[in-house]
């Protein structure tokens, strides 16, 4: 029998620890998922580290072009121009002055 194993920790994937993983993270608009790639524990652990960091770093991109997520909305964030002006960037791509 050819058992599939988690690509990260090599544990055997079964009905109880198999999970759906976004191919492109949800945070940047990914919809398609795959199964039989990583286990539940790795998905949860790396979702809280890798995916969260990727979402944090690409949040301005998601806000700027209005990417919608399968779950939740990208949080507004403060951006600063090279002149030092600060603005709130909202999830519709709009900018509003931010209180300093
Ligand atoms: Zn794993």
pLDDT computed for residue 87 by the predictor: 93
The answer to the question of residue 43 being in a domain is yes
The answer to the question of residue 8 being in a domain is no
The phi and psi torsions of 53 (rounded to 5 degrees) equal -70, -40
pLDDT band at residue 6, thresholds of 50, 70 and 90?
A: very high
The answer to the question of residue 85 being in a domain is yes
The answer to the question of residue 63 being in a domain is yes
- 60-92, pLDDT tens digit by residue? 888 988 888 888 888 899 999 999 999 999 988
The answer to the question of residue 56 being in a domain is yes
Query: Ligand 1: distance of its center to the CA of 13 in Å?
Result: 8
Query: Ligand 1: distance of its center to the CA of 100 in Å?
Result: 44
How far, in Å, are 17, 26, 66, 76 from residue 35 at the CA level? 11, 15, 28, 32
The answer to the question of residue 2 being in a domain is no
- pTM strictly above 0.75: no
Show the domain range for 79: 18-97
Task: Tokens for 87, please give them.
Answer: 């603005």
Q: Which residue has the higher pLDDT, 100 or 39?
A: 39
Looking at the structure of the chain, the number of domains it has is 1
Query: Ligand 1: distance of its center to the CA of 57 in Å?
Result: 25
- 7-35, pLDDT tens digit by residue? 999 999 988 888 888 888 887 888 899 88
Ion ligand 1: residues, Cβ under 5 Å? 6, 8-9, 39, 42
């Amino acid at each position: 029998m050819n058992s599939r194993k988690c690509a990260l920790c090599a544990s055997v994937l079964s009905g109880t620890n198999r999970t759906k993983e976004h191919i492109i993270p949800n945070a940047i608009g990914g919809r398609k998922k795959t199964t039989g790639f990583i286990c539940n524990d790795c998905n949860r652990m790396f979702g809280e580290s890798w995916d969260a960091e990727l979402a944090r770093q690409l949040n301005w991109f998601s806000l700027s072009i209005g990417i919608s997520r399968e779950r939740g909305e990208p949080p507004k964030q403060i951006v600063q121009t090279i002149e030092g002006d600060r603005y709130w960037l909202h999830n519709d791509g709009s900018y509003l002055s931010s209180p300093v």
